[in-house]
């Protein structure tokens, strides 16, 4: 009888644990939208297929994409129109995983041919994040200003959990290739990256967005997994983490070229100014979750770096 009661209690404990996990909407990456876009003749005139997470369907034509069906995810597959010339980038793909699909993030070189001559090469990393992409992209300057990062969120999860499969390019150094300057070697091997931040944001009278950092989890993928790592939990740390023994500078407040942007009440995408660390018991207003196949920022990485992600959940 005692064994029976114990088994029932253990079973209930397992159900409780499952109830405390929340799949981020569309975070199983089983449902995708395809976009068919014909590029301008000047750059080859090819028709490219772009992929977006959302309710299964199509969104064809050279037109600005907006998140569909309440999907909170956007990615670095983009439609650009510069001086009337239509060009695309594809660095995010659906990939088979188990009985469903996952998201594959890939770092590669995008070559732009004008009248049959290769005149621009750009390094592009794969990225997927909670937020929106502001299409069409009209210039290559300040890429972060083209994305609205984060979603409204007021809960306090203890961890983020997901499946991942990582394979690095095997290079000891990275490159920086913008298409408008000479290729440059950047010290240090490339890595994939995961960012999960909780912020308390507010807007001033001029429309500037300010924030305090409440919760932090950042992880860099620096070793090949040789297959899938299933259901890995990463603890979210609350309050000021700068005195912790495991703290690294790149876990700190987001400033400089990699500052995130958000849409203000006037509809303008502005810098999110992280001013400091909130008390550990504060309630957030926004959640940032972002995965990248290369960690160094725009145009920096190693061709071939690949990060696959699936089943993104918050744990309470």
pLDDT digits (tens, 9 = 90+) for 240-272: 999 999 999 999 999 887 899 999 999 999 999
pLDDT the model gives residue 114:
67
Task: Give the model's confidence band at 24: pLDDT under 50 very low, under 70 low, under 90 confident, else very high.
Answer: very high
Residue 47 has pLDDT above 70, yes or no: yes
Residue 19 has pLDDT above 80, yes or no: no
pLDDT the model gives residue 112:
77
115: left (phi over 0), alpha (psi -120 to 50) or beta: left
Among 2.60.40, 1.25.40, 2.60.120, 2.40.50, name the CATH number for the domain at 25-315. 2.60.120
Task: Give the model's confidence band at 10: pLDDT under 50 very low, under 70 low, under 90 confident, else very high.
Answer: very low
End-to-end CA, the chain: 32
pLDDT the model gives residue 8:
41
pLDDT the model gives residue 6:
47
- Cβ proximity of 41 and 26 under 8 Å: no
Q: How far apart (Å, rounded) are the C-alpha atoms in residues 243 and 103?
A: 35
Residues 66-92 pLDDT 10s: 999 999 999 999 999 988 999 999 999
Mean pLDDT, the chain, rounded, equals 92
pLDDT the model gives residue 11:
47
Q: How far apart (Å, rounded) are the C-alpha atoms in residues 215 and 282?
A: 9
Residues 144-182 pLDDT 10s: 999 999 999 999 999 999 999 999 999 999 999 998 788
- Cβ proximity of 81 and 91 under 8 Å: no
pTM: 0.92
């Amino acid at each position: 009888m005692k064994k029976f009661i114990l088994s029932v209690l253990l079973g209930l404990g397992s159900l409780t644990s499952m109830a405390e996990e929340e799949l981020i909407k569309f975070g199983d990456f089983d449902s995708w939208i395809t976009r068919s876009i014909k590029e301008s003749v000047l750059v080859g005139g090819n028709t490219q297929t772009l992929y977006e997470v959302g309710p299964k369907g199509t969104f064809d034509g050279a037109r600005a994409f907006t998140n569909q069906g309440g999907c909170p995810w956007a990615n670095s597959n983009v439609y650009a129109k510069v001086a009337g010339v239509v060009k695309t980038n594809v660095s995010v793909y659906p990939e088979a995983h188990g009985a469903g699909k996952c998201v594959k993030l890939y770092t590669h070189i995008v070559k732009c041919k004008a009248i049959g001559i290769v005149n621009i090469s750009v390094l592009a990393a794969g990225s997927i994040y909670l937020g929106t992409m502001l299409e069409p992209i009209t210039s290559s300057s300040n890429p972060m200003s083209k994305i609205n990062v984060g979603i409204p969120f007021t809960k306090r999860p203890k961890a983020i959990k997901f499946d991942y499969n990582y394979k690095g390019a095997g290079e000891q150094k990275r490159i920086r290739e913008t298409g408008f300057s000479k290729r440059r070697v950047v010290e240090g091997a490339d890595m994939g990256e995961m960012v999960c931040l909780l912020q308390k944001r507010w807007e001033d009278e001029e429309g500037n967005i300010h924030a305090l950092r409440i919760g932090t989890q950042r992880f860099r993928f620096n070793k090949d997994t040789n297959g899938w790592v299933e259901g890995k939990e990463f603890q979210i740390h609350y309050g000021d983490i700068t005195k912790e023994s495991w703290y690294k500078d790149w876990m700190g407040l987001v400033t400089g070229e990699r500052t995130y942007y958000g849409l203000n009440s006037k509809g303008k995408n502005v810098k999110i100014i992280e001013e400091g660390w909130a008390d550990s018991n504060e309630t957030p207003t926004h959640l940032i979750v972002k995965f990248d196949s290369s960690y160094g920022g725009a145009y920096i990485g190693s061709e071939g770096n690949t990060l696959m992600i699936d089943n993104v959940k918050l744990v309470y």
